[in-house]
Structure 1
Amino acid sequence: MRVLALSPGPLALQLDRLPALVSLCEQVGATLQVACAPTCRGAWDLIPQVEKILPFDFEASPTLADWANLLGCVREPDFQVCLNFAEGQQVNLMLSMSHIPTRIASSGFSSTEIISPGEGWCAQRLASFLKPLGCTLDADRFSLALSSKDLDAARAEQPAGEGPMLLLAPAGSTGDWPEQRWTSLPESIAQRLKGLRTLQLSPELPLNRRAAAVASSDVVLSSCPVTQRLAVYNGVPLVALGAQPENLPNRPEIRCLGHQADLSALKDGEVLQALGF
């Protein structure tokens, strides 16, 4: 079986969809092609089920020619299923002219199955997309299988020593926790825990390298939604600044702290306590 996913949205949303698409492919023995913005392809390169990426930026006001080209791409292979996360008249018109027999979405006249949002944290809510196919989803069990090459490279970039590794990953956006607090926090922790190693993750790293850096750490402190999801998918203890608890799985090693709109109000002591100090 071959599955098509039409996947608009930023990188964090792409990562939210990984557990559902991987679970579907594993349960029905399918391969996957994904239409997404070129800047988001790194998310789908993390999973082996992806056969092909179809570069298509849904948010860039595609022209009729762009939609026609995408239609050609989806009509040529023999797709049996489409999970459509996009909305709008153009995408529905395009899908209605495709030969895909099962088209699942939350709305749209081209859909053969209309689903309602599921329950649970953000990745688990997509279980409703799998239900019409007789498949189930346990997003909390999903984990990334990273290459040994990327993991070795990540470990080589860590500070020398045998102490615990704290990875800092600020979002770097307006309203983030102030930069000086990201800088001073390791010094405060080092006074309480000798041998602590810290590294600040660069958002410029390719996503596979960022995932490996997360997986090679002992704990992650991050206000970046992408890094937060990478920590969840690698089973690494996480303090997620600005994240809503309902958007992450309920695990003892995951703690949500502060509100996205007011991270500057967070004190060092609150973050230290969340980290266990």
Structure 2
Amino acid sequence: MRILALVPGGTGEQLLFFPTLDTLKQQYPNAEIDVVVEPRAMASYRVCLSVNRVLKFDFNDRNSLADFGNLLGTIRDREYDAAILTQPRQSLKILLWLSGIPLRVSFGNQNNFLLTESIEFDPQEYAAVANHSLLAPFQILKPCPPIKVNLPKGDLDWAASEQKRLGLPKSGFILLNCGALANYPADSWAEIATDIQAKLPDLSIVAIDSVNNAELLEKLAARVPNLLIASPTDVGKLAALIATANLFICAEGDAMQFGVAVGTALVAILSAATSAKVFLPIAEKRVKYVQAIAGQSLKDIPPQTVLAKIWES
């Protein structure tokens, strides 16, 4: 059997689809499972063992008929038996209909002739569980498993060497993913970090050096004594670093889903527009979050609110 999944979105959206891919692979161990994802999300599959091929297509670009034609040709050449579409965009449903794939599954009502099977979408459901419901037409009714990632040995070795380079003690460390300066202010991060240092002096504070946060880290380092900086160069190393932390504190974004996937205790800082129950498994005790109230931005969340959640028993 050959199965194709079209998964628009970034790295976070891919991780929220991993349980569906893992269940498919468990149910059909000999199946060839391919995914079509945006260029920005292709690296996600470095830590997924359930996929055979990762195909690139920029769903959000202003694609021409030729672009869709090229993708259609690739899909037809592979002669897939089934296709799953996580976002039921009309253009993609037409694409799958033209492909002639026998089983075409997505969210929507039952009256859409472009699909062979439509699943009702609950916008308030945890996204991983909602995605997993797309497996019903495959006669798979198992509960959705947690998000898991495969950590290559090379990435685990890098995380170990990075801890050694930073001189981290055996007692462990707390990892911060601060995001860009526009998301959550350096002063707020500094207050969080210094409070942790005062209460847990045996634990080091490590901040992740990522895209567009150089200015924030510079300000943070000036405020937080002995702050350490780690620089993972790909998603595998990022996931391995998060997995070795005692606690991961992060602003909303892709890294948050890696925190969910590796099982590290997590405190997420969410904007008012981000639904915690859609993007986080809030039933898990290790997963905590704070959220801006309606009308406020993420940066308006007081650091004292974050600290209260960290120290909450």
TM superposition score normalised by structure 1: 0.91
Is structure 2 residue 259 aligned with structure 1 residue 224? Answer: no
Aligned partner of 2:97: which letter?
A: S
Q: Indicate which of 291, 295, 302 corresponds to 1:258.
A: 291
Number of the residue aligned with 1:112 = 116
Q: Indicate which of 188, 204, 210 corresponds to 1:197.
A: 204
Deviation digits for residues 55-108 of structure 1, max 9, x if unmatched?
Answer: 100100111111111011111113111001244443233212213110001145
Offset of residue 148 of structure 1? 1.8
Distance (whole Å) between structure 1 residues aligned to residue 162 and residue 187 of structure 2 = 23
C-alpha spacing 1:106/1:173, structure 2 compared with 1 (3 Å):
farther
Offset of residue 173 of structure 1? 6.1
> Residue 117 of structure 1 contacts residue 126 of structure 1 at CA under 8 Å; is this kept in 2?
no
Q: Indicate which of 276, 285, 305 corresponds to 1:245.
A: 276
C-alpha spacing 1:99/1:154, structure 2 compared with 1 (3 Å):
same
> Residue 162 of structure 1 contacts residue 195 of structure 1 at CA under 8 Å; is this kept in 2?
no
The SS at the match of 1:239 is: strand
Number of the residue aligned with 2:34 = 33
Number of the residue aligned with 2:20 = 20
Size of the aligned set, in residue pairs, is 276
Gaps of 5+ in 1: none
Distance (whole Å) between structure 1 residues aligned to residue 153 and residue 102 of structure 2 = 39
Q: How does 1:1-277 map to 2 (within 5 A)?
A: 1-29=1-29, 30-107=31-108, 108-118=112-122, 120-158=125-163, 159-160=166-167, 161-172=169-180, 174=182, 176-204=183-211, 205-242=233-270, 244-247=275-278, 248-249=280-281, 250-259=283-292, 261-276=296-311
Runs of 4+ in 1 over 6 A off after TM superposition: none
Offset of residue 169 of structure 1? 0.6
Offset of residue 270 of structure 1? 2.1
TM superposition score normalised by structure 2: 0.82
Q: Percent identity?
A: 25
> Residue 168 of structure 1 contacts residue 199 of structure 1 at CA under 8 Å; is this kept in 2?
yes
> Residue 244 of structure 1 contacts residue 256 of structure 1 at CA under 8 Å; is this kept in 2?
no
Deviation digits for residues 24-71 of structure 1, max 9, x if unmatched?
Answer: 122122221111111110122321121111110010011111111101
Gaps of 5+ in 2: 212-232
> Residue 189 of structure 2 contacts residue 303 of structure 2 at CA under 8 Å; is this kept in 1?
no
Aligned partner of 1:102: which letter?
A: L
> Residue 19 of structure 2 contacts residue 132 of structure 2 at CA under 8 Å; is this kept in 1?
no
Number of the residue aligned with 2:221 = none
Distance (whole Å) between structure 2 residues aligned to residue 268 and residue 94 of structure 1 = 47
> Residue 222 of structure 1 contacts residue 241 of structure 1 at CA under 8 Å; is this kept in 2?
yes
Q: CA RMSD in A?
A: 2.0
